[in-house]
Amino acid sequence: MSRGLRNNNPGNIRISKVKYQGEVTPSADSAFKQFTSMAWGYRAMFVLLDSYRRSGYQNIKQMIPRYAPPNENSTENYIRSVSLWSGILADTPLDTRNPAMMIPVVSAMSRVENGVAAIEAQVKEGWELFVKNKP
């Protein structure tokens, strides 16, 4: 099982000053956040991507280098994979409040991060938590 799945952190969000609902504190992982359930981990991804959008990052091509920096990742492959698996072109503007766009994007990102397909019901549960508990 991948680190992200063990931590209920399907996006492999690093420890930071930002605190998310459902986050386990302190994290037993020295580098990555832990969440009480996969749904809370997915919610954190939706929250983070929404914050990127509000900061001017418009699409997959702009968000992924911010999310997965080139010094740590094969960013171009990450962008291509998320675009392919989500069915959304890399330069299409993302509406981070639209589940038809964001559930496939977050599912694809989880697949890149963990090497296995996301469980759709968990991603949708994360979306519902995001909608009910918007930042």
The whole-model pTM stands at 0.95
Count of the separate structural domains present in the chain: 1
Q: Taking all residues of the chain, what is their mean pLDDT, rounded to a whole number?
A: 96
Q: Which domain holds residue 20?
A: 3-132
Tens digit of each residue's pLDDT (9 = 90 or more) over 23-52: 999 999 999 999 999 999 999 999 999 999
What pLDDT sits at residue 135?
A: 66
Residue with tokens 């675009």: 83
| Confidence check: pLDDT of 56 > 90 | yes
